[in-house]
Amino acid sequence: MAINKLGTHTLETPRLILRRFRLDDAQNMFDNYCSDSEVTKYLTWNPHANIEVTRMFLEGNIQAYENPSTFRWALELKGIGEVIGCIDLVGLHEHDESGVLGWVLSRKYWGLGLMPEALLAVEKFMFEYVGLHRLEATHHADNYQSGRVMQKGHMTCEGRRREAFLDHTGRHVDLVVYSILADEYRNQKKF
């Protein structure tokens, strides 16, 4: 079965609007998460040194929307209208009908359940509209909070990949792998 390459559509949750990035998001991105070394501690990229780095990064993200296989959402917090994070499909494996998710969130909003809320909306879109069979996510073994997001997204821990990731400091670190299958998604909706 072929997947539906729908591109990034706007999604809404009780507290968030998940939408495409816009050029005017650069300042929010820089201020809220791109420049924060605590936020990027476990990510593949270093904190942005200045707003110009964020603008260049943002321009590449916006250009990627021309490809209907791009699924990348800015997380806009309702009420304040600021971009406070991102969730996207960082890997799409069409043959296997599977995808790999990644995300980042402003430290100011950690622990409020916003990322699980966004994850559940993306799971719904990817399973019900795009037609994926499997979604997975990994986290740096020391980033327990990201693992909690995966658990709240009804993902199952599959195990640990030893020294599978070269982090931005040049260190090989373990990754913990979680996944959810389309059938599991459909079954958990019944409860």
Tens of pLDDT, residues 164-182: 988 877 889 999 999 999 9
Longest dimension (CA), the chain: 47
* Closest alpha carbon to 115 in 13, 185, 23, 10: 13
pLDDT bucket at 63, cuts 50 / 70 / 90: very high
The pTM of the full predicted model, rounded to 2 decimals, is 0.94
Q: What secondary structure letter does DSSP report for 22?
A: -
Average pLDDT over residues 3-22: 96
Residue 191 has pLDDT above 50, yes or no: no
Residue that is written with structure tokens 């998940």 in the block: 18
Residue 44: its pLDDT value, please? 82
Residue 1: its pLDDT value, please? 66
CB atoms within 10 A of CB 125: 18
Residue 120 has pLDDT above 50, yes or no: yes
Amino acid in position 124: K
Mean residue pLDDT of the chain comes to: 94
Sheet holding 82-93, edge to edge: 11-12, 16-19, 72-77, 82-93, 98-105, 134-140, 172-181, 156-166
Beta-carbon contacts of residue 40 (< 8 Å; ≥ 6 apart) = 33, 34, 46, 47, 104, 168
Rounded Cα gap, residues 82 and 105, in angstroms: 12
pLDDT bucket at 73, cuts 50 / 70 / 90: very high
Task: State what percent of residues in the chain have pLDDT above 90.
Answer: 89
Structural domains in the chain, CATH included, are 11-188 (3.40.630.30)
Rounded Cα gap, residues 146 and 136, in angstroms: 13
Q: What secondary structure letter does DSSP report for 125?
A: H
pLDDT bucket at 189, cuts 50 / 70 / 90: low
